[in-house]
Amino acid sequence: MFEESILLDIFYYLGATVILVPLFKALGLGAILGYICSGLILGPAGIGLLDHSEDIKQISDFGIIMLLFVIGLELSPSRLSKLKGIIFKEGIPQFFVTTALISYILTFFGVDTTMAIVAGSSLSLSSTAFALYYLKESDQLTKSYGQSSFSILLFQDLIIIPILTVLPFFAESSQITSGFDYRGLFINIQITLAALLFGMFALIPAISWIYKSQSREIFISCCLMMIIGSALLMEFVGLSKALGSFMAGIFLTNSKLRHDISTFSVPLKSMLMGVFFMAFGLSIDTDYFKNNVYTVVMLTLLFTSVKFLILMVIGRIKTGRWSTGMKMGILLGQGGEFGLLIISTAVSHSIIATEFSNLLISSITLSLFLSPLFTKIVDYLNVKVPAIEEKSDEEFSAIKDAS
């Protein structure tokens, strides 16, 4: 019966995907909300068809692993050198100033410092899947605010790696014991560097040799084995599995096989990310939301307002126009998938309490459901205040390739 339950879970997932996701797209609400609502409807909060949510969660974890692998695969040193100017000058202030301000406000209201920092970093991240989809569909990537928004999203995709690397070492300090484990961090950095060297000098030649064997099935199996193996290695030494898959992508970023690997990894990543958002919908505690709706709404207003103000200033500094910053602040105001990943990692290491994680998850959920309204406001501003057109230069050509 165990095998049947997994098959039933997959069947329900596919059925909900086929029905709800196209419906939500047709209504202009986006695929992400379709996946989340699928989880809400099929899970304990709805009709309860998905009783084995742990099976779905394991599949969704693989989706995150594939997402980080694809990000690493696309970030060659040459591309990063072209992108660094436009990414870091806007991404760094957005992330760190937003994190610091949200964390400070939360500590002012009595939240523990470590928990406040985790909350600040998770809430400062936006939904790449949602915002990038809007920018592409509305043809706004060539506009000033579109370029800045995408560069900030790309920086957020990069900053998640060091966050997930450092996060486990806050586990002890959150319990006020021996403080941050610097020795453990140093040892694991050495292990990570050793894994990188092993990947460059052993795994890549092996994969290239298998590729020349003309067996596509074995080639794909070998790549998946390397991705999963890297993730398991990082988990074994106490780091994030996502870091391992990101490193696997870095191994292959300069390889001639990068395009061939992308042909199977990108579609697989997209499908599994749908499972991730559905698992997120399954995990939403609707009772908590109903019992704490005032607190959830206030936190949502807090972090979206802070992000809006900081992004508005960044846009003003870049273009000299407040309208550019307003569009960026509205479009990137919601929480995102990597924020959820930070929260789940923090909970698994007992850095934040389950009650507090429910508050953060509920706030991010509410912001995601408000995202279609945010984009309608951006559409209105695009009509009333036309966006600044910018010619494609070398930096933005690289950004368009990355998108």
Which tens digit of pLDDT belongs to each residue from 54-84? 666 666 677 777 777 777 777 666 666 666 6
And the tokens for 80?
Answer: 């990063």
CA distance 278 to 32: 9
CA distance 89 to 148: 10
CA distance 69 to 250: 8
The pLDDT value recorded for residue 317 is 81
The pLDDT value recorded for residue 149 is 84
End-to-end CA distance of the chain: 43
Taking the alpha carbons of 225, 227, 229, 231 in that order, is the dihedral positive or negative?
negative
Is 32 within 8 Å of 278 (Cβ atoms)?
no
The pLDDT value recorded for residue 264 is 65
| Number of Cα atoms under 13 Å in the Cβ half of residue 372 | 12
CA distance 350 to 328: 34
The pLDDT value recorded for residue 337 is 83
- Helix residue ranges, H only, 109-215: 113-123, 128-137, 144-166, 182-198, 204-211
From residue 380, alpha-carbon distances to 318, 384, 386 in Å are 22, 6, 10
Contacts of 115 (CB under 8 A, 6+ apart): 106, 174, 351, 352, 353, 356
Rounded to 5 degrees, φ, ψ at 179 are 80, -170
Residue type, 403: S
CA distance 27 to 40: 18
Per-residue buried b or exposed e for 195-221, using 16+ beta carbons within 10 Å of the residue's own CB: beeebeeebbeebeebbeeeeeeebbe
And the tokens for 359?
Answer: 């508050």
Is the entire prediction scored with pTM above 0.85? no
The pLDDT value recorded for residue 76 is 63
Q: For the residues of 88-112, what is the DSSP string, one character each?
A: HHHHHHHHHHHHHHHHHHHHHTT--
Contacts of 17 (CB under 8 A, 6+ apart): 34, 35, 38, 274, 278
CA distance 366 to 40: 13
Q: Which residue has the tokens 């694809």?
A: 70
Strand partners, 143: 389
Low-confidence ranges of the chain (pLDDT < 70): 1-6, 50-60, 75-86, 171-204, 207-208, 211-216, 238, 253-260, 262, 264-266, 268-269, 272, 382-403
Q: Tens digit of pLDDT for each residue in 363-390?
A: 998 898 888 887 787 777 766 665 554 4
Per-residue buried b or exposed e for 69-90, using 16+ beta carbons within 10 Å of the residue's own CB: bbbbbbbbeeebebbeebbeeb
From residue 231, alpha-carbon distances to 39, 294, 393 in Å are 26, 39, 37
The beta strands (E) that lie in 212-368 are given as none
- For residue 180, the SS3 value is coil
Q: Which residue has the tokens 């479009």?
A: 331
The pLDDT value recorded for residue 326 is 83
CA distance 182 to 374: 42
Strand partners, 389: 143
Go through the domains of the chain in sequence order and give each one's CATH number. Answer: 2-402 (1.20.1530.20)
And the tokens for 376?
Answer: 């309608």
